[in-house]
Chain A
Amino acid sequence: MNPILTISHLNKTFESGFQALKDINLSIERGEIFALLGQNGAGKTTLISIICGIVNATSGTVSVAGKDIAHHYRDARSLIGLVPQELYTDSFESVWNTVSFSRGLFGKPPNPALIEKILKELSLWDKRDNKIITLSGGMKRRLMIAKALSHEPQLLFLDEPTAGVDVSLRKDMWQLVKALQTAGTTIILTTHYIEEAEEMADRIGIIRNGELILVDEKLALMKKLGKKELTLQLAGPLDAIPAELNIPELSLSANRLELKYTFESSGEGMGAADVLHKLSTHGIVFKDLQTRQSTLEDIFVDLVNAGGKETSAALAPTATTGEDHHAA
């Protein structure tokens, strides 16, 4: 099946001379959730704006479902829904009218039943006659999504969809996004909450200074670039690490009561089980252990800060176990 979105050699240089995008190449498959990560000013919104027709590209091509956005903009744009980062609304319009307006803009005949369904799914039905100015920030955010969904897009852009949204609403949004994916909508989201990308995305793209420095399956990325750390609280002080285990990845704390072992998530090198086994053969007893795994955020920060080199990520706790244990 053809990709829903194909970007080739896309460049954008603003009048000021600032190059916002540098030779972007990307292909998005139908039905996937793609998370575009990048720091402020990295080029995420510029990229989305070009695809949606809000900003002109300097060079390169973009096609949506095989339709070039410059030459077949009607066909291309009618397939796209956009939820912008900012809450741009007509304050004095009613919820119902503004969502119906969006559907009309995209050339679709009125469909009150669909608008009703969307508003109910987004918990806005009770507010349908309210003026937008009376809505809370979270409701406005949901309204933006309702407007974007009103013309039944195949490709939905969510630019920072949960910025300023409380935790419970954020989880509701994640569920909504998953439901949209199940219904066949392809979703491209940008977010500052990397937890969000980790939770939802099938693939991740990282953009830095206008360059797409990495695109990979989320799980493959975390496996490839992620690290794990095993910490053992020893039952008693250890004089020294046995010679057989004297490797850089294994270290003894200054108080000689803690051993730390850092290893690749990908399973390359000596695994945790091997280390535990070898410690056991040397009679080293521990009373507790913790494992920590790098998150997508760690990987992201590492990539952005390390100039794009594939380096090990910092670590965050993921699991702990208690009570005395002997290395098996």
Chain B
Amino acid sequence: MLLNLYGIRAIYEFEMARTRRTLMQSIVAPVISTALYFIVFGSAIGSRISQMEGITYGAFIVPGLIMLSLLTQSISNASFGIYFPKFTGTIYEILSAPLSPLEITLSYVGAAASKSIILGLIILATSAFFVPLRIDHPAWMLLYLLLTSVTFSMMGFIIGIWADGFEKLQAIPLLIVTPLTFLGGSFYSISVLPPFWQKVALLNPVVYLISGFRWSFYSIEDVSLWLSLGMTVSFLMVSVLAVIWIFKTGYRLKK
């Protein structure tokens, strides 16, 4: 058996079925909260804000809002997906199955990324009801959607393995990822910041993700497209290396 495809499918379908069972939490809740952002920032307050980089404010925040959901949901889906079997003890079956680390990662990360991409597309469709939308580079948009979902699902997978309690599971998304996303240009272009803070903002990895993603919509960028893409791929590689190390050492999975 070169690749345990049935095993990958079993985990993938199990995870997707979990999403269907928790539709309210997985899909409906993020869509409603994003719709609220559009109503508040796009229509209510946004109508009083002048254009940002030549784009109406409501339309400007669409990529950032999708990214915000993508990042938090990718981490949440993947971390919960692997943490829950650890919590309930059913991880024994995954560890004792003839599955390679690559296959286990593909299954969990694949399912989490799929859910995030679906969610991202739903939010995109929802936003079309509130603001005039245009996508200049749809292929790039889909590439960023895919890369970001996979990268942050991978990070979520690592967090799920690392966490030994529900508090830790929530800590990184709430204390690190959400602030970085808000400060990474979800609601503004970093060019509006004072020069010093622009330089500080470049230390925030989320800036590169949002910049590249926004470029795919409106052809405007905070950092160059290739730098943005390079940074995104770099995050993915770091996550891949961390996962390889986890399975090699059995960290938090095997005693």
Chain B residues whose C-beta falls within 8 Å of the C-beta of A107 in the assembled complex: 1, 4-7, 97-98
Q: Is the interface of B mostly helix, strand, loop or mixed?
A: helix
| Shortest CB distance A47–B (Å) | 13
Chain B residues whose C-beta falls within 8 Å of the C-beta of A247 in the assembled complex: none
B98–A106 CB distance below 8 A: yes
A104–B90 CB distance below 8 A: no
Q: In the complex, what distance in Å separates the CA atom of A73 from the CA atom of B100?
A: 9
B7–A104 CB distance below 8 A: yes
Most buried by A among B10, B98, B250, B255: B98
Q: In the complex, what distance in Å separates the CA atom of A90 from the CA atom of B94?
A: 13
Q: In the complex, what distance in Å separates the CA atom of A53 from the CA atom of B254?
A: 9
Q: In the complex, what distance in Å separates the CA atom of A78 from the CA atom of B10?
A: 15
B97–A105 CB distance below 8 A: yes
Chain B residues whose C-beta falls within 8 Å of the C-beta of A73 in the assembled complex: 98
A54–B92 CB distance below 8 A: yes
Contact with B along A98-140 (1 / 0, CB 8 A): 0011111111110000000000000000000000000000000
Chain A residues whose C-beta falls within 8 Å of the C-beta of B14 in the assembled complex: 93, 101
Q: In the complex, what distance in Å separates the CA atom of A102 from the CA atom of B13?
A: 12
Chain A residues 79 to 101 lying within 8 A of chain B, measured CB to CB, are 80, 82, 84, 86, 88-93, 97, 100-101
A74–B4 CB distance below 8 A: yes
Chain A residues whose C-beta falls within 8 Å of the C-beta of B1 in the assembled complex: 74, 78, 107
B7–A92 CB distance below 8 A: no
Q: A77's contact among B9, B97, B254, B255, by CB below 8 Å, is which?
A: B97
A82–B21 CB distance below 8 A: no
When C-beta atoms are compared, the residue in chain B nearest to A12 turns out to be B255
A54–B95 CB distance below 8 A: yes
Most buried by A among B11, B94, B95, B100: B95
Q: Residue B99 at the A interface, CB < 8 A?
A: yes
Q: In the complex, what distance in Å separates the CA atom of A316 from the CA atom of B95?
A: 43
A89–B90 CB distance below 8 A: yes
Chain A residues whose C-beta falls within 8 Å of the C-beta of B21 in the assembled complex: 92
Q: Residue A52 at the B interface, CB < 8 A?
A: yes
A90–B6 CB distance below 8 A: no
Q: B93's contact among A56, A75, A76, A147, by CB below 8 Å, is which?
A: A147
Q: Residue B88 at the A interface, CB < 8 A?
A: yes
Q: Residue A193 at the B interface, CB < 8 A?
A: no
Q: B7's contact among A54, A90, A91, A106, by CB below 8 Å, is which?
A: A106
B98–A88 CB distance below 8 A: no
Q: In the complex, what distance in Å separates the CA atom of A86 from the CA atom of B99?
A: 22
A102–B255 CB distance below 8 A: no
When C-beta atoms are compared, the residue in chain B nearest to A15 turns out to be B255
Q: Residue B54 at the A interface, CB < 8 A?
A: no
| Shortest CB distance B217–A (Å) | 39
Q: Residue B89 at the A interface, CB < 8 A?
A: yes
Q: Residue B96 at the A interface, CB < 8 A?
A: yes
When C-beta atoms are compared, the residue in chain A nearest to B100 turns out to be A74
Chain A residues whose C-beta falls within 8 Å of the C-beta of B88 in the assembled complex: 88-91
Q: B254's contact among A56, A82, A109, A147, by CB below 8 Å, is which?
A: A56
Q: In the complex, what distance in Å separates the CA atom of A84 from the CA atom of B231?
A: 44
| Shortest CB distance B248–A (Å) | 11
When C-beta atoms are compared, the residue in chain A nearest to B11 turns out to be A105
With A56-B254, A74-B1 as contacts: A88 and B97 at CB distance below 8 Å: no
Q: In the complex, what distance in Å separates the CA atom of A310 from the CA atom of B100?
A: 45
Q: A102's contact among B5, B89, B93, B99, by CB below 8 Å, is which?
A: B93
Chain B residues whose C-beta falls within 8 Å of the C-beta of A89 in the assembled complex: 88, 90
Chain A residues whose C-beta falls within 8 Å of the C-beta of B100 in the assembled complex: 74
Chain A residues whose C-beta falls within 8 Å of the C-beta of B4 in the assembled complex: 74, 107
Most buried by A among B90, B97, B250: B97
A104–B250 CB distance below 8 A: no
Chain B residues whose C-beta falls within 8 Å of the C-beta of A15 in the assembled complex: 255
| Shortest CB distance B207–A (Å) | 39
With A73-B98, A74-B98, A77-B97 as contacts: A88 and B6 at CB distance below 8 Å: no
Other A-B contacts than A54-B95, A82-B92, A147-B93, 9 sampled, CB-CB below 8 A, are A14-B255, A56-B250, A93-B14, A103-B10, A105-B93, A107-B1, A107-B6, A107-B97, A109-B6
Can you list 15 pairs linking A and B with CB atoms under 8 Å apart?
Answer: A49-B255, A52-B95, A56-B250, A56-B254, A56-B255, A84-B92, A88-B88, A88-B89, A89-B90, A97-B17, A104-B10, A105-B10, A107-B4, A107-B6, A107-B98
Ordered nearest first, which 8 A-B pairs have the shortest CB separation?
A104-B10, A88-B89, A74-B98, A105-B97, A52-B96, A77-B98, A107-B4, A78-B98
